[in-house]
Amino acid sequence: MLTSMARRPSPHVHHMNGLHHQPYHSKPFNDDDDDNEEERDARRVRSRILANKLSESLLNRSSSTSSTINKEDSIEQRVKTAIDICDIDTLRKIYSQSSSLISIERRFKSGGWTVLIHAAYSCHFSLVSLFVLEFGADVNSKSSEQMTPLMACCMSSHSKSATTSGNDDQLSICRFLLEHGAHIEPSFDTSDEKMMTPLMLAARFGSSSALIHLLVKYGAKIDRRDAKGWCPLIMATQHGHLGSVEALIKYGADLKSTTNNGLTALDIARHLKHEAIVQFLLGEEMKSTQPSSLSLPLCDNQCELTNENVNNEILKVSDESINDDNILKLSLDNKQNEQSRKSLIYMGAAAAVGGALLFGLIYMRS
């Protein structure tokens, strides 16, 4: 009895392979089960149809968006290629269409530059004038890193404008942009180490003296410093651009300007062993110090030397005058002696003649 009771499973728990399962309680039979099952099947069918429609809609929308993006990327690549080879016809065709997908002010995905910034950096004057005059591009448009067309053109000597003709195109584009309102001193946070002015970029990349003069003429601050305290003169010195250094000094750059660490352009030139720049800066420092520290002593020395020379000349003239007087006196004495000698001779001759006459007269009387 006890054994059979021990072997009898619990009425609420069934054992199967060591797992406990709740017993399945069958529902009482209902005549409406067939109708409920049909409704459930219908609902499943409707859900599948709705899901298929929603999936197709999302797929079509994704395909349309992807197609638009691919088309924009394709046009963007065409624009870049046309700028590189200066293909005016292709660019005019793309931007003249009213349904054009790319705005003239649109920033490209790579680099965040506008077409005007690209054209200015490539030193294509015809494209710059096309975008500004025909399509109304903003001459002060900025990239995602605050690069402007004028700044891009000033740094283009690093690549496209290294030749004489390139420098001429660079100068023409910068003048065109300035004449059409480009900002010569863009406002930026002085704590941002990446921000630079057009003149800073021109100095850093060794632009021509004519371009530096143009920027200064339009109001560029020649001694403006960045977050590290570097001015255009120090930037040109760092990169070894002697021509830019000479131009900056010529147009008023301060030789004594220092970085935040107290370094001058001469200090940096010596450290980087730019000997030509070192010699030039030393010569300029000597010129700048002469009026203030050496002018008065030199003047005194010169005056003393002049006075001494004058005194010597006076003494020399005096000596010469004394010598002349002595010569004149001696000459007069000689003349007087000669006259006295002649007088004595005449007197002797007269005395002899007189004595002879007297002797003759006495002889005749006797």
Q: Residue ranges of the domains in the chain?
A: 116-287
Confidence of residue 201 (pLDDT cuts 50, 70, 90): very high
Q: Averaged over 178-185, what is the pLDDT?
A: 95
CA gap 55, 49 in Å, rounded: 10
Task: Look at residue 358 in the predicted model and tell me its pLDDT.
Answer: 62
The DSSP call for residue 157 is: G
Pick the closest to residue 244 from 280, 207, 216, 219 (CA basis): 207
Q: Averaged over 164-177, what is the pLDDT?
A: 87
- Residue 150 is encoded by which pair of tokens? 């004028």
- Residue 318 is encoded by which pair of tokens? 């005096």
Query: Above 70 in pLDDT, residue 59?
Result: no
CA gap 168, 210 in Å, rounded: 9
Task: Look at residue 306 in the predicted model and tell me its pLDDT.
Answer: 40
Measure Cα distances from 314 to 231, 318, 321 in Å.
57, 6, 10
At 227-255, the pLDDT tens digits run 899 999 999 999 999 999 999 999 999 99
pTM equals: 0.61
Between 321 and 118, the higher pLDDT residue: 118
Plot region of 17 (φ>0 → left; ψ -120 to 50 → alpha; else → beta): left
- Hey, what amino acid is at 108? F
Least confident window among 75-79, 198-202, 236-240: 75-79
CA gap 211, 267 in Å, rounded: 26
Task: Look at residue 187 in the predicted model and tell me its pLDDT.
Answer: 73
Residues sharing a CB contact under 8 Å with residue 230, sequence separation 6 or more, in sequence order: 200, 238, 259
Confidence of residue 10 (pLDDT cuts 50, 70, 90): low
The answer to whether the beta carbons of residues 161 and 198 sit under 8 Å apart is: no
Least confident window among 149-163, 176-190, 273-287: 149-163
Residue with tokens 């070894």: 240
Confidence of residue 41 (pLDDT cuts 50, 70, 90): confident
Least confident window among 11-20, 140-149, 354-363: 11-20
Angle ∠(259,227,141) on CA atoms, nearest 5: 135
Task: Look at residue 101 in the predicted model and tell me its pLDDT.
Answer: 67
Q: Averaged over 258-285, what is the pLDDT?
A: 95
Superfamily for domain range 116-287: Ankyrin repeat-containing domain (1.25.40.20)
CA gap 72, 240 in Å, rounded: 42
What is the phi/psi pair of residue 332, to 5°?
-65, -40
- Hey, what amino acid is at 232? P
- Residue 190 is encoded by which pair of tokens? 């002085």
Between 17 and 130, the higher pLDDT residue: 130
- Hey, what amino acid is at 73? D
Mean pLDDT of the chain: 75
CA gap 322, 329 in Å, rounded: 10
Q: 3-state class of 15 per DSSP?
A: strand
Between 344 and 52, the higher pLDDT residue: 52
Task: Say how far residue 194 (Cα) sits from the centre of its chain.
Answer: 14
Task: Look at residue 259 in the predicted model and tell me its pLDDT.
Answer: 95
Confidence of residue 155 (pLDDT cuts 50, 70, 90): very high
CA gap 34, 30 in Å, rounded: 9
CA gap 127, 92 in Å, rounded: 10
The H or E element containing residue 245 is helix 242-250
Task: Look at residue 356 in the predicted model and tell me its pLDDT.
Answer: 64
Between 240 and 10, the higher pLDDT residue: 240
CA gap 208, 241 in Å, rounded: 10
Query: Above 90 in pLDDT, residue 312?
Result: no
- Hey, what amino acid is at 153? C
Query: Above 90 in pLDDT, residue 178?
Result: yes
Confidence of residue 317 (pLDDT cuts 50, 70, 90): very low
Task: Look at residue 314 in the predicted model and tell me its pLDDT.
Answer: 37
Residues 25-41: b if buried by 16+ CB within 10 A, e if exposed: eeeeeeeeeeeeeeeee
Measure Cα distances from 259 to 205, 228, 286 in Å.
19, 6, 22
Between 307 and 346, the higher pLDDT residue: 346
Query: Above 70 in pLDDT, residue 27?
Result: no
Task: Look at residue 327 in the predicted model and tell me its pLDDT.
Answer: 40
